[in-house]
Structure 1
Amino acid sequence: MVKKKNRWKTLSTAGLLSALILAGCGNSEETTNEASGESGEKSYQVGITQIAEHPSLDAASVGFQQALKDEGLEVEFDTQVAQGDQNNNQSIANNFVSDQVDLIFANSTPSALGALNATKDIPIVFTSVTDAVGGGLVDSMEAPGGNITGTLDNHPDAIPNTVEFINKYFDIETIGVVYNSGEANSVSQIETVKEVIEGTGLKLAEATVSTSAEVKQATESLVGKADVLYIITDNTVVTALESVVQVATDKKIPLFVGELDSVARGGFAAYGFDYNDIGYEAGVMAAEILKGEKEAGEMDVQYPQNLKLVINKEAAEAMGVELNPEWEESAEFIE
Structure 2
Amino acid sequence: MIKKRLGLLFSILTILFLVSACSSSNGNSSDSSNKTDNQKTEVTLTDAKGKVVIPANPKRIIAPYLEDSLVALGVKPAAQWSIGNTVLDYLQPQLKGVPKIGWDMPLEQVINNNPDLIIFSSATAIQKGQYEEYKKIAPTYVYKDEMNADWRKQLTQMGEILSKQDKAKEALASYDKKAADAKSKIQSSIGDQSAAIIWVNAGKFYLMEHNRFSANVLYSDLGIKQPDFVKNLGDAAVQWDPIALEKLPEIKADHIFLISKKGDAGLDLLSNSSIWNGLDAVKNGHVYEMNDPSFWTINGLIASEKTIDAVEKALVK
Decide: shared fold, TM above 0.5. no
Of structures 1 and 2, the one with the larger relative CO (CA 8 A, separation 6+) is 1
Hey, which of these two has a bigger chunk of strand by percent? 1
**Bigger radius of gyration among the two:** 2
TM-score normalized by the length of structure 2: 0.37
